[in-house]
Amino acid sequence: MRFVHSLLLALAGILIFGFAWHLVVLATRPAPLRLPAMAFSDIAEGKSHAVILDSKSREISRAIFDWDEKSRGHNEDTLKTWLKAHQPKLAGLPTNIPAPAATSPASKPSYPAHSLPALLDAAKVAFGGGLIAEASQAPGSGFDQARARAESTQIKNARSEDWIPPPHEALSALYELTVSGEMPRHIIASLFRVAAGFIFGALLGIPLGLAMGSFAWLSSLLNSVIQCLRPISPIAWLPVAALTLKGADNAAVFIIFLSSFFPIAVSTAAAVATVDLKYRRSALNFGVRGLDSARYVIVPAVLPSILTSLRIALGISWVVVVAAEMLGVSAGLGYLVNDARNQLRFDRVVAAMIVIGLIGLLIDTSIRRFERMELERRGLGAR
Amino acid sequence: MSPNLGDVFAVPASHGASKPPQSGSASVKIRIAGVYKTFKTKKGEVPVLEGVDLDVRDREFLAIVGPSGCGKSTLLNCIAGFEGIDSGSIQIDGEQVTRPSPKRVFVFQETGIFPWLSVWDNIGFGLGRKMPFAQKHEIVMKYIDLVGLTGFEKALPSELSGGMKQRVEFARALAVDPDILYLDEPFGALDAFTRLEMRREIVRIWKATGKTCLLVTHDVEEACELADRIAVMSKRPATIKEIVENPMPRPRDPDEKAFRDLKDHIFETLGVERRV
Ligand SMILES: Nc1ncnc2c1ncn2[C@@H]1O[C@H](COP(=O)(O)OP(=O)(O)OP(=O)(O)O)[C@@H](O)[C@H]1O
Ligand SMILES: [Mg+2]
């Protein structure tokens, strides 16, 4: 019951967040670029049209060109002349529309494919770009189809470069990446790095922390070194690590190791040092000392603290791995973020961010569950 | 030795009939002679024990009372071997105490049972891990019965009341069958009702098992109710001011004149005005 309750609350939180996100997108969205002109071919007619549009994408002026079988193209000179004649009408209109890739015809054209790009090129020459080409097979429907396609292309192009993608786009990018198998590949790569580095970090950090907490001399010996190395961001180790460890992959694992090792060792040591004297004395009293005392008294006593430090270290590792993967590796969520950014695919960037966040949450809650179990066992932190 | 449960339930009601086991006549169990102890802190030295002499007889119930902060816990920790002493000697059965031993178990001021272990595991803790399960189970169950926690074997300390935890600690201490129990204000953290009940309980257990009990408390009434003899400590740096014999037979009634006189005498020795 409590579970359902908190699940509903969590869902509500996600909805509110998504709504806020969408509001931000709307608020920061640039005004849609206006389409000043477009060209399309009506395949059924065997003719091409060039149209100049007004501010509401309504037709102002149209020229129709015949298909020239001999030159297998349009009479470009005619087009140019027409466009020149209409230049004044176009003068006040924006022409910086991102040049679209020539949209391919909806279905197989019986019409030579190169004719549209040719038309487009001619238009570009005439007024510096901003034409959309489209082919249509249904007689008479060319204009509407072309306009719809042109507008959507325009929006899409503008969006992927200048806009924060709205939630539904990020989700569809997420779906695409998941179905294509790319996302699982990156997730596995990142998880593997984190697991490898973290396991090393824990395997060395816990025993060292236990030893440092138990022996004051060891703590004095290592403390200053550790406290000096600890504030260095693991990312700062990347160049050195890549140089010595031969390869960005090893370097990333090493960096995760560092990010987990220090917090685990330091907080385990601190926890051991504060184990209640009466537990130590109870153990001593019953003749339990040395390694037995460590195993049966100290470790159980500090287990909640160790679990907390593991959770925090894993959280740090998960943060750090994304940064570490931005250099030199070819898989992983950090790589995905960087790669998508380079391709101006911000919908993918956000999709990767969503996945990073969700996995972080999953890791945190699963360890927190153990932690809570151990705390409740000890009569602490029960709610 | 095993506790004689039959004895426990057969506590006679009439005064004088119940005599503590071998009280008064027994040989010396713990000999404390000229013990000095100073804590060295950053702010300087804190002399706590300044020549403490005390003999604890075998199987007796001895209470140490004294003002707060006078060094009662320190003395008990030294006797238990948890802390070293600067000079003097502490001998048990003629041997110098150097470290704690399962033959002498300490019951802590606030319960020292392990919160991560069940009642069963806590009580079995001192028996070691090499003991065969069946034997261990028999012992553990015996002491669970003795302290009246039957049915709570699997419970965790966090599921128990303060008094029950204290019973678990007694059971854990008794399970290793020690000669001596060191009790450092074992009822300090309990409410008045539970404390009363636990006092009865500890007398019952002491009679049943015949341990030497060394109780530290700042509650004079508690000392008078429980102990055969009461050692009164001075303020810090502490010595033993006086050892008071408690002639009263058990069960004891705090409203009896002899009891009140004994209390008054101890308060007088402590130099405390009893009336508010
Ligand atoms: N580890 C320590 N380091 C320094 N001083 C200590 C230490 N332990 C105890 N003391 C000091 O020794 C004195 C006696 O402490 P102790 O705990 O023995 O008192 P106590 O008689 O048990 O008091 P209470 O009745 O309040 O439990 C106190 O003044 C305390 O400040
Ligand atoms: Mg004390």
Question: Could you read off the pLDDT of A304-329 as tens digits, one per residue?
Answer: 999 999 999 999 999 999 999 988 88
Q: Is 90 exceeded by the pLDDT of residue A268?
A: yes
Residues with CB under 5 A from ligand 2 (ion): B 73
Task: Examine residue A8 and state whether it is found in any structural domain, yes or no.
Answer: no
Residues A365 and A344 in one domain: yes
Q: Is 60 exceeded by the pLDDT of residue B22?
A: no
For position B216, what pLDDT does the model report?
94
Residues A83 and A202 in one domain: no
Q: Global pTM?
A: 0.74
For position A108, what pLDDT does the model report?
37
For position A127, what pLDDT does the model report?
41
- CA-nearest residue to B158 within chain A is A379
CATH number, domain containing residue A345: 1.10.3720.10
Residues A205 and A322 in one domain: yes
Task: Examine residue A139 and state whether it is found in any structural domain, yes or no.
Answer: yes
For position A89, what pLDDT does the model report?
55
Q: Which residues of B touch A285 (CB under 8 A)?
A: 80, 100-102, 104-106, 126
- Specify the residue with its C-alpha closest to ligand 1, atom 18: B71
Mean per-residue pLDDT, B143-149: 89
- Is A286 part of the contact surface with chain B (CB cutoff 8 Å)? yes
Which secondary-structure segment (H or E) carries A348?
helix A346-377
- Residue with more model confidence, B39 or B201: B39
CB contact under 8 A, A285 and B158: no
pLDDT tens digits, one per residue of A154-171: 555 554 455 678 888 899
b/e per residue, B30-43, with b = 16+ CB within 10 A?
bebeebebbeeeee
- Listed by number, the residues of chain B in 159-198 with a beta carbon closer than 8 Å to a beta carbon of chain A are 159, 176
Residues A258 and A339 in one domain: yes
Task: Examine residue A336 and state whether it is found in any structural domain, yes or no.
Answer: yes
CA B198 from chain center: how many Å?
Answer: 12
Mean per-residue pLDDT, A173-178: 94
- Is B101 part of the contact surface with chain A (CB cutoff 8 Å)? yes
Residue pair A116/A56 in contact (Cβ under 8 Å)? The answer is: no
Q: Which of B87, B63, B169, B155 is nearest to B116 (CA)?
A: B155
For position A263, what pLDDT does the model report?
94
CA dist A319 and A361 (Å) reads: 12
Residues A147 and A178 in one domain: no
Number of domains in chain A: 2
Residues A251 and A320 in one domain: yes
CA dist B173 and B80 (Å) reads: 13
Residue pair A326/A335 in contact (Cβ under 8 Å)? The answer is: yes
Mean per-residue pLDDT, B236-242: 90
For position A135, what pLDDT does the model report?
55
Task: Examine residue A300 and state whether it is found in any structural domain, yes or no.
Answer: yes
- Specify the residue with its C-alpha closest to ligand 1, atom 10: B39
Residues A147 and A209 in one domain: no
Residues A144 and A174 in one domain: no
N- to C-terminal Cα separation, chain A: 15
Picking from A147-156, B52-61, B106-115, B223-232, which range would have the lowest pLDDT averaged per residue? A147-156
CA dist A195 and A358 (Å) reads: 17
DSSP, res B22:
T
Task: Examine residue A22 and state whether it is found in any structural domain, yes or no.
Answer: no
Q: Is 90 exceeded by the pLDDT of residue B78?
A: yes
- Is A376 part of the contact surface with chain B (CB cutoff 8 Å)? yes
Please tell me the number of the ligand nearest to residue B217's CA.
1
Q: Which of A273, A268, A235 is nearest to A252 (CA)?
A: A235
% of residues, chain A, pLDDT over 90: 46
Task: Examine residue A25 and state whether it is found in any structural domain, yes or no.
Answer: no
Residues A122 and A195 in one domain: no
Residues A237 and A137 in one domain: no
pLDDT tens digits, one per residue of A78-103: 666 666 676 655 554 433 333 333 44
Q: Separation of A132 CA from ligand 2 center, angstroms? A: 90
pLDDT tens digits, one per residue of A106-153: 433 333 434 455 555 555 544 444 444 555 556 666 677 767 766 665
CA dist A360 and A355 (Å) reads: 8
pLDDT band, very low/low/confident/very high, at B148 (cuts 50, 70, 90): confident
pLDDT tens digits, one per residue of A236-252: 998 888 888 887 788 99
Residue pair B8/B207 in contact (Cβ under 8 Å)? The answer is: yes
- CA-nearest residue to A280 within chain B is B112
Longest C-alpha distance within chain A, in Å?
107
For position A149, what pLDDT does the model report?
65
Residues A204 and A286 in one domain: yes
Regarding the beta carbon of B211 and ligand 1, being less than 6 Å apart is answered no
Regarding the beta carbon of B52 and ligand 1, being less than 6 Å apart is answered no
Regarding the beta carbon of B236 and ligand 1, being less than 6 Å apart is answered yes
Task: Examine residue A13 and state whether it is found in any structural domain, yes or no.
Answer: no
Range of the domain at A342: 168-377
Q: Is 60 exceeded by the pLDDT of residue A295?
A: yes
Summary mean pLDDT of chain B = 86
- Highest average pLDDT, of A43-47, A164-168, A337-341, B14-18, comes from A337-341
Q: Which residues of A touch B140 (CB under 8 A)?
A: none
% of residues, chain A, pLDDT over 70: 68
Q: Separation of A10 CA from ligand 1 center, angstroms? A: 51
Picking from A266-280, B8-22, B179-193, which range would have the lowest pLDDT averaged per residue? B8-22
CATH number, domain containing residue A44: 3.30.420.140
Q: Separation of B73 CA from ligand 1 center, angstroms? A: 7
For position A101, what pLDDT does the model report?
39
CB contact under 8 A, A282 and B112: yes
For position B15, what pLDDT does the model report?
38
Q: Is 70 exceeded by the pLDDT of residue B77?
A: yes
Task: Examine residue A240 and state whether it is found in any structural domain, yes or no.
Answer: yes
Mean per-residue pLDDT, A188-202: 95
Residues A188 and A295 in one domain: yes
